[in-house]
Amino acid sequence: MNALNLGPGLALPLADVVGQCVAILGIRGSGKSNTAGVIFEELLAAHYPMSIVDIDGEYFGLKEKYEVLVVGSGENVDVELDMAAAGEVADLSLHEGVPVILDVSDMLADERERFLLEYLTRIWALAGKLRKPYMIGIEECHEFIPQGVRTDLKEVIARIALRGRKRGLGAVVISQRSAKVEKDVLTQAGMLFLHRVVHEADMRVYGELLPWRRLEAKETVSQLGVGECIFMSGSTARKVKIRLRHTFHGGYTPSFRAVESPKLRQVRSRILDALARARSVAPPVAVGPQPSPREDPRARPVDPPLASAPIADAPDPPAPDAELPGPVLLRVDRLLRRLNRLPPVKRRLVAFLVEREPNTYTTSELASWIDCAEAALLAEPPTELVDLGLIVQERFARGLAYRAALRQYVAEAFAGFAAELGPEGTRRLIAHLRHRLACISTAERNLVHTP
């Protein structure tokens, strides 16, 4: 296969992608991750090796169809991995051409930064010797290559994106905050997929990138639907529609088992060996006097800095989390991170309902309580929250209504911990969750979008 089929009338010659910097931008929900997922699917189908930095644990679904090794610390990893073996995995991936997803969704920002620095520095060095096509995918890239801030990690990523070509290295960088991404990377990207943006600062960035008159660019961009984008390659730009991913778009569904080839199993066991070796030779990298966050998840900040949702320093009253097991708290953190990415209205909705469980509220009651238009609630129902099982939708003669269902949610989502928690632990977990979810809206009140 020599072309990547990304959508109707959009087949990119594979050769054009080698060593390329591809930027995918757009607001939340505009289809960026789907576009990236489609590019990765097509690259995988062409046996193009890569590493995807997955900060939300949403790419493991690629395993449904392709041979990919998921390493890191999230819920769906094949191999739990820490700093000690980051370099070795990078070596294996590049040498053996094994696609790797680096699931860093459960790592703290600092831990993640060091892990990626180690990993990508090794990729850069090795690519200099091997010089074969290899792609790095980075979600929420404004967190790693922020405009106007200098870090070692940013330096290595920018180097890969801007100067990787000679080594065969390319990058797919994805962000919902165009204005916050290092300008050099965007202006020098060879391919851009510009999904819808609305904020003026993001629109200005598009204006600088697109070869169109500002007004024309603005008009076209503001009319883009989900999955539509302006595709720009070199100096030509046109509107395109990206196809949907064939593989599962990860999110809430916890696990499925993909078929694993002997080759992948072999690599996996070698990674495990390498990990064991690394652990027996070198102690884990010191993190200062405190216990490592993985040992004590309660040491995590309540919500790691969210790119899309800069939570101002809202007071965080002590959560009733005493004596909940670490893995349970990790899972709660994960849920909170996910919910923090929802639009403010939906966060207010869940906070409101959990605080008043088991009361049921119609959309018109909710609209006045949480201060939004009822039409908005009807046009964009809280499907994600219903799918998650956190809230339940009911249909009355007076209209649609919602109520929280924390007890049921915990029974299902934490079923694996039921025996360990027992009735008392489960009760504490529900109280803890209720408290944390209620705080989501307190934090949100201070939320301003500052592109």
Ligand X SMILES: Nc1ncnc2c1ncn2[C@@H]1O[C@H](COP(=O)(O)OP(=O)(O)OP(=O)(O)O)[C@@H](O)[C@H]1O
Q: Taking the complex as a whole, how short is the minimal distance between the CB of residue 367 and Mg ion, in angstroms?
A: 28
Site for ligand X contains 250 (CB under 6 A): no
The 3-state DSSP class for residue 170 equals strand
Instruction: Kindly indicate which of the ranges 25-33, 156-164, 293-301, 352-360 contains the residues binding Mg ion, using the contact rule CB under 5 A.
Output: 25-33
Q: Which of 17, 21, 22, 33 binds Mg ion (CB under 5 A)?
A: 33
What value, to the nearest 5°, has the Cα angle with vertex 22 and ends 21 and 23?
Answer: 120
> Which residue is nearest to ligand X, using beta carbons?
227
Cβ atoms of 404 and 353 within 8 Å: the answer is yes
First to last CA, the chain: 40
The 3-state DSSP class for residue 361 equals strand
Site for ligand X contains 226 (CB under 6 A): yes
Which option in Mg ion, ligand X, none does residue 105 bind, with CB closer than 5 to 8 A by kind? none
Q: Taking the complex as a whole, how short is the minimal distance between the CB of residue 33 and ligand X, in angstroms?
A: 3
Site for ligand X contains 378 (CB under 6 A): no
Looking at residue 228, its amino acid is E
Q: Taking the complex as a whole, how short is the minimal distance between the CB of residue 300 and ligand X, in angstroms?
A: 22
Q: Which residues contact 149 (CB under 8 A, 6 or more apart)?
A: none
Site for ligand X contains 33 (CB under 6 A): yes
Site for ligand X contains 34 (CB under 6 A): yes
| Nearer residue to ligand X within complex by CB, 25 or 89 | 25
Q: Taking the complex as a whole, how short is the minimal distance between the CB of residue 39 and Mg ion, in angstroms?
A: 13
Cβ atoms of 147 and 185 within 8 Å: the answer is no
Site for ligand X contains 26 (CB under 6 A): yes
Cβ atoms of 81 and 73 within 8 Å: the answer is yes
The beta-strand segments (E) located in 176-256 are: 191-194, 228-233, 236-241
Site for ligand X contains 10 (CB under 6 A): no
> Which residue is nearest to Mg ion, using beta carbons?
33
- CA 316 – CA 264 distance, rounded (Å): 44
Instruction: Kindly indicate which of the ranges 23-31, 109-117, 296-304, 388-396 contains the residues binding ligand X, using the contact rule CB under 6 A.
Output: 23-31
Sign of CA dihedral 6, 8, 14, 16: negative
| Nearer residue to ligand X within complex by CB, 51 or 176 | 176
Q: Taking the complex as a whole, how short is the minimal distance between the CB of residue 248 and Mg ion, in angstroms?
A: 14
Instruction: Kindly indicate which of the ranges 29-37, 38-46, 223-231, 421-429 contains the residues binding Mg ion, using the contact rule CB under 5 A.
Output: 29-37
| Nearer residue to ligand X within complex by CB, 143 or 321 | 143
What value, to the nearest 5°, has the Cα angle with vertex 232 and ends 229 and 238?
Answer: 60
Bridging pattern class, strands 134-138 and 100-103: unpaired
Site for ligand X contains 227 (CB under 6 A): yes
Site for ligand X contains 29 (CB under 6 A): yes
Q: Taking the complex as a whole, how short is the minimal distance between the CB of residue 37 and Mg ion, in angstroms?
A: 9
- CA 184 – CA 354 distance, rounded (Å): 45
Q: Which two tokens stand for residue 96?
A: 């053996």
Q: Taking the complex as a whole, how short is the minimal distance between the CB of residue 123 and ligand X, in angstroms?
A: 24
Integer CA distances (angstroms), 387 to 352, 372, 384, 391, 392, in order: 18, 22, 5, 8, 9
Q: Taking the complex as a whole, how short is the minimal distance between the CB of residue 249 and ligand X, in angstroms?
A: 6
Q: Which residues bind ligand X (CB under 6 A)?
A: 26, 28-34, 176, 226-227, 242, 244, 249, 341
Q: Which residues bind Mg ion (CB under 5 A)?
A: 33
